[in-house]
Amino acid sequence: MARKVTTRHKVVATVAAWAVALIIFFPILYTIITSFKSETEAIAGFKLIPSFTTESYREVQGQYNYFKPFMNSVILSVGSTLLALLIAVPAAWAMAFSPTKRTKDVLMWMLSTKMMPAVAVLFPMYIIFRDLGLLDSRIGLTVMLTMINLPIVVWMLYTYFREIPGEILEAARMDGASLWNEIVYVLTPMAVPGIASTMLLNIILAWNEAFWTIRLTTTEAAPLTAFISSFSSPQGLFWAKLSAASTLAIAPILIMGWFSQKQLVRGLTFGAVK
């Protein structure tokens, strides 16, 4: 009896969940579908099965070599993430293992550094970047993205490290483990999953940052966000080409996200789970 109810329950839940999931995913799905249509087909009304032409992709590639902005996106997002981790891991570690009364305030303060709207500081920032010779440089943008996301990285790592029980360290120390062994055999295995998921989230945030990455680059350092703004509203029909460019811009991060979904989910708690 109980079992029967469960099966029915499962079917109902499945149908509901799939329906909601498909609605949420629909805009992305439809963009991918449209990218395989021709321009006239794209505006000709609702159609789920495209003619599977790759014309739009060829045109997009002919206009803007995808490889360069793609590599820039990879370099910028991974580079800024590694740099942020390098700075944030010690800080989060210290906050988690020797917290003070002010630790929470420090975390909140860090988050508050994101309160200034980027547009308001564009002009001064542009001048600073110009004077440092960092316009259109990957290094400058990497530093920028690092600073933008640092508060989030510290916060995520902090909440993650806090879950590592301090007693384990003491136990290991009692057993006569050296500091080195302590780090290698006890701490690292416990910290790595947290660091990994932080890294994933930060790569996503950096990949999708679309203000500074467009404003501070021209050609050499321009990532996929700049690539997309070459296709956003030209004269003439552009729906299919825009879809193709959009698909190209989001596909890498989407695929990465799908494959690392479990890792990401585990890390996305921000201390929400005790």
Residues 183 to 222 in contact with other proteins, rule: CB under 8 A? 204, 207-211, 214-215, 218-219, 222
Phi-psi region of 178 (alpha: psi -120 to 50; beta: other; left: phi over 0): beta
What's the closest the beta carbon of residue 270 comes to other proteins, in angstroms? Answer: 4
Identify the residue among 75, 78, 122, 164 touching other proteins (CB under 8 A): 122
113 part of the interface to other proteins, by CB under 8 A: yes
Q: Which of 5, 67, 98, 167 lies at the binding interface for other proteins (CB under 8 A)? A: 98
Cβ nearer to other proteins, comparing 186 with 247 = 247
Task: Look at residue 230 and give its three-state secondary structure.
Answer: coil
Among 74, 75, 82, 118, binds other proteins (CB under 8 A): 118
Distance CA 242, CA 234 (A): 10
Termini Cα distance of the chain: 36
Displacement of CA 274 from its chain's centroid (Å): 24
CB atoms within 10 A of CB 244: 25
Stretch that binds other proteins, among 50-58, 130-138, 170-178, 183-191 (CB under 8 A): 130-138
Contact 75, 146 (CB under 8 A): no
Nearest distance, CB of residue 265 and other proteins, angstroms: 6
Q: Whole-angstrom Cα distance, residue 142 to residue 129?
A: 12
**Site for other proteins contains 71 (CB under 8 A):** no
As given in the structure block, the two tokens for residue 148 are 């933008």
Residue from 13, 71, 168, 171 that binds other proteins (CB under 8 A)?
13
Secondary-structure breakdown of the chain: helix, strand, coil percentages, each rounded to the nearest 5: 75, 0, 25
* Interface pick for other proteins out of 74, 78, 82, 125 (rule CB under 8 A): 125
Closer residue to other proteins in complex, CB, 1/120: 120
Q: Is 171 in the site for other proteins (CB under 8 A)?
A: no
Q: Of residues 91, 164, 183, 196, which one binds other proteins by CB under 8 A? A: 91
